[in-house]
Structure 1
Amino acid sequence: MKAVIITHPGGPEVLKLEEKPKPNFAPNEVLVKVAAAGINRPDVFQRKGNYPPPKGAPQNIPGLEIAGIIAEVGANVTRWKVGDKVCALVIGGGYAEYCNVPEGQCLPVPNNLSMAEAASLPETFFTVWTNVFDRAKLQPGESLLIHGGSSGIGVAAIQMASSLGSTVYVTAGSDAKCKFCEDLGATKAINYKTGNFTEVIQHLTDSKGVNVILDMIGGDYTPGNIQSLAEEGRLVMINTMKGKDVQIDLSQVMRKRLIITGSMLRSREIEFKSAIARNLEKHIWPLLASGKIKPVIHSVFSAENAAEAHQLMESNDHMGKIVLSFES
């Protein structure tokens, strides 16, 4: 099979399309002939040598989400059969023509979506569900602040939270990105280059603050996050792009009875990810099928142009997801 490999840690140019053996698959797994693979920020970190893949994952083939057609099934697989169209969360190896996946981490491709659209879903939707709805327990009628609203995570979180009855605020880096987020369903998008999100949130909420914050930034955003939370508020960390070492006022945490939490999904066990898949199929997949939630694709690159796709990811010029295509 053809696969995009990381030849050595470095810039986008280290990604090369090469011939590799098809992966083996376990009795509880399916082998998917990949049509498309989503590109995510962790792929960039792995390419640079800053995010080692967990045990059992391919060491030099990145990719955390795929869509395609099941080519083979393991002996213990009960739900899926050869020919089924699925999208799936994987621990690595997604940038390839074939990828093995535990059956519980597969979801059916909605009939109204292309393979590229389906490939853009799993990593962000799994991440948002487990952090915003499971860990932070966002409820209808509550408010959510998302940092990085025009990212893949932001696009998913805006649509999921607003569709399920929450008020959504976001930060983004340009007026165009802010409008993009508001068109997706955000009540208000804050341009962090021209405004202070803490001050704007205080104004928008009559100084009450928001119930939940989903943050992938960390660093100097953290004190503002603490200030922006309402009483009983929940801060969920999923990345620390501006740094992991921060200072906060713990008296605010105690006085407002805040919860600070976070998670990393990639290394979690199969059963945990499979439970997320079941929740997504129950609560979110009908909204995709009806068109109430829509995948947002910024660009689709052919597999041989993976380096260009990573350059775009690192430029932060995109709005929505970047996808690799393995279809001729």
Structure 2
Amino acid sequence: MPPEVIATVADFCDLQSVLNLRLTSSELGEHAENVLDADRRAMLRHFVTDAEILWEHFENYGAVVGGLAALSFVLRDASMLPDSLDVFVTMDQAEFLEQMLDEDPDLDLRLTGTVDRGPSQDFITPRHTSRVATFLCPNGRLLKLCTLSTQSVLDPIVVAPTTALMNWVSPHAFGCAYPTLTLKRRALSGSISAYAPGVAALYLVLKTHGFERMRSPWCWPEYAALVPPSKRTWFKPCLSALFLCPQQGRFFGDEGSLINVFDLQSTNHDELRTLHQPPYGVSVGWRLWFGGQRGCDGHCKVRDPLLPEGVVTVAAVMVTRRIQFRATFVDPRADV
């Protein structure tokens, strides 16, 4: 098949296929990277005219994009782009980024309000968020800058009410916590009754875009069929080998996640690590807080090698190009 035909086909491939195509040849690899970069730009162009200026600000202050916008990138589905862009930034950088967004004339954003948020407020606003600054974009859409109460910009992403939203996009990299599910438009979610009305609306959006939403991974029998059956009938078989056990400790960079950079050849990993840019710097280890209350017959809940029992998230530092995980306590006042 001629390369130009393959290149055209790549425009309609899913994300994993584009990443695989990038490894075939230099010519097709270059086209695949152009596809990824075009998707990256288009995601922000949905809100502002000059996407690169906005990406530059996000890079300078270590911010990432999450929510439905990140999901639309992972699925390569522009129809899922929302009217509100969720941006996450740590507390030590939030004030500077908020000021920059407000004062940059090229972006033409207008700060319309700020809300300080406590733990008792509704769940539709991402958890571990202490403040939300809302900007009106020139086209009438919104940018919501979420200041975090933790030192990891990925922390609120992994405590989302559904695995479908556990994705992020940074200026240089992107990640998906559960590609086995998300790329097939499947999602684990908690009970709607536990959340504010806004989450029910979110679940409706996912359903509209073809998502199959379940409360437990064992609801899809093909996954359980791939692992040894439980020796105790009152437990479920452990799905940790597939990185789908809800009680399992996870991190971006393990074999169950999808994590990659936009430019394979030119990305300076040492520089990203020095600047604490994702996927390096302060990241997060997590386990799902929904979907497995009954438990499996494995050791995930009480003897997980990554997270102690009862811990949902923990700050972590990612080091080396191969993405090694080191759990650590991070003082919010520290310069990390």
Alignment TM-score, normalising by the size of structure 2? 0.28
Alignment TM-score, normalising by the size of structure 1? 0.29
Higher share of residues assigned strand? 1
